[in-house]
A and B are shown apart, each in its own frame.
Chain A
Amino acid sequence: MATQQTRTLARFMMAPSVFLLLIWMIVPLAMTLWFSFQNYNLLNPANVSFAGLFNYQFFYTDPAFFQSIWNTLLIVVGVLLITVIGGTALALLLDQPMFGQGIVRILVISPFFVMPPVAALVWKNMIMHPGYGVFAGISKSLGFQPVDWFAQYPLFSIIIIVAWQWLPFATLILLTALQSLDGEQKEAAEMDGAGFVSRFIHLTIPHMSRAITVVILIQTIFLLGVYAEILVTTNGGPGYASTNLPFLIYRTALLGYDVGGASAGGIIAVILANIVAFFLMRAVGKNLDK
């Protein structure tokens, strides 16, 4: 069926996408790599010189660097724990017979469609605010001292906000996977006398394992880059308590005008993301073969 002509046509049809993505992949990254070996400060742009590994050394010896890597990992792991466990529980709940299931579903997935700055500001001002927030109101009515969330637990507060945004995503995907579970299999297991727990362990979990893998990997890609939530709530503080790697790079680049240093950080971020990407590509690639 594929004649020479159609093959040429196919190549021609793919060319714009491939060309654009090729440029998008190579040019900025090559520039970042190049800048990472330069002494280049935007405040003194005439004075650019070769820096060798200085920028990497600078980033590496900056105490904020390890803290930001640690914070990046804490955000990723914390949000994953909450969303995967919570998402599984919610998916199981939403799969039960009930009235108004459609509306419940809509309510649960809504946070995913809220843009990050709105989500973060609403939580910051109206839910977690130590003076007027809903949490503070609850604490006061129970006779406790209200918690100043962003001052006392800055990173944890950000994890909660981000988890709120991603819980719907995990729930929706796990629910989709759950609903594709064969009803007959479930019934057969039930007839064989398998209880809820044993059905869950031996039937549901294996069936959902792939969806869970996909959720973890995709969320990790996005969670490594959490930015707006930090910008509008804590601005990385107090100190560096809630600065993750993206935020540190932003700070170095656009607030410190240090192009070289920020680029070195960018390369480190690429390496981190690549480790995750490797596993995601394998999971998605396997599916393509089916």
Chain B
Amino acid sequence: MARAVSTQTKVGWTIAAWVIALLIFFPILYTIITSFKSETEAIAGFKLIPSGTLESYAEVQSQSNYFKFFMNSVVISVGSTILALLIAIPAAWSMAFSPTKRTKDILMWMLSTKMMPAVAVLVPMYLIFRDWGLLDSRIGLTVMLMLINLPIVVWMLYTYFREIPGEILEASRMDGATLWGEIVYVLTPMAIPGIASTMLLNIILAWNEAFWTIRLSTTNAAPLTAFIASFSSPQGLFWAKLSAASTLAIAPILIMGWFSQKQLVRGLTFGAVK
């Protein structure tokens, strides 16, 4: 593998890659730049250096109570992920450590529930939510997103747990470990990285979910997806404000995403590409 590469070639590739990467990243970069402009500046034409004003950020908070939407996003995405983990860990655990003939079929079936198009059940879910008073409630959205992501959580955990060698269990059993001791001292430390990665990816997916969160919420439980979508109305003309709101909405997830590149591949391809 260690081929000698001339510096010239390397510089060439570097320039090509950076130019293309910056072009792809540009819409995000420009959003961040615009968020530090004033409204008049924002529509005054293409300019890469902003005046650095923070007025858009202040205005987003004071006019729309941005923090409330942000907290809704946090509660719904983290809540649904933890709920899904609580339900999925035992299932993935038993499938990985005591698989039966039917384990594979069950996994495939779980995956198949993910294929159902959301719109196909929009009407019944809307009616159920309405009749049960769950429309525009954090609990309703949390449960909804938990259901949507549950198959992915089970799958990801399963692919991680499957890699924990079974022999280590037998060895510890020989050493006289009890079942409880096995779980606490042997399996848990080995499972935690997998659980953490699964958690990270699912918070990202839940944070960005933009069908149910928009359709099943109006004001009280509306997360950032719904808040940003409301800018498509005439309000959207306030570009600096839109940019500030957008920057705040994507920043936490962008940073988490950068740390989860590997897990992303694995989780979203259901272990088919590693």
Contact = CB atoms under 8 A, between A and B. Distances in A.
Instruction: Determine if chain A interacts with chain B.
Output: yes
Interface size class of B (residues with CB under 8 A): 35 or more
A122 B10 CA distance: 34
B270 A284 contact: yes
A271 to B, nearest CB: 9
A241 interface: no
Contacts of B246: 118, 121-122
Nearest to A21: B113
B232 A233 contact: yes
B126 to A, nearest CB: 7
Nearest to A177: B273
Interface in A165-220: 167-169, 172-173, 176-177, 180, 183-184, 187, 210-211, 214, 218
Interface stretch (B18-26, B51-59, B60-68, B188-196): B18-26
Given A99-B14, A288-B107, A13 B24 contact: no
A13 B94 contact: yes
Interface size class of A (residues with CB under 8 A): 35 or more
Interface string B138-180: 0000000001001100100000000000000000000000000
B78 interface: no
A253 B91 contact: no
A253 B249 CA distance: 29
Contacts of B125: 28
B123 interface: yes
Interface stretch (A29-37, A57-65, A74-82): A29-37
Interface of A: 1-2, 6-7, 9-11, 13-14, 16-18, 20-21, 24-25, 27-29, 31-32, 35, 90, 93-94, 96-101, 103-119, 121-127, 131-132, 134, 137, 164, 167-169, 172-173, 176-177, 180, 183-184, 187, 210-211, 214, 218, 221, 224-225, 227-228, 231-233, 235, 245-246, 249-250, 253-254, 259, 262-263, 265-267, 269-270, 272-274, 276-277, 280-281, 283-285, 287-288
24 contacts: A6-B98, A13-B90, A13-B94, A17-B87, A20-B147, A28-B128, A32-B120, A111-B24, A115-B228, A116-B208, A118-B228, A118-B246, A126-B31, A127-B27, A127-B30, A211-B269, A228-B229, A245-B119, A249-B120, A254-B215, A266-B123, A270-B120, A272-B117, A273-B117
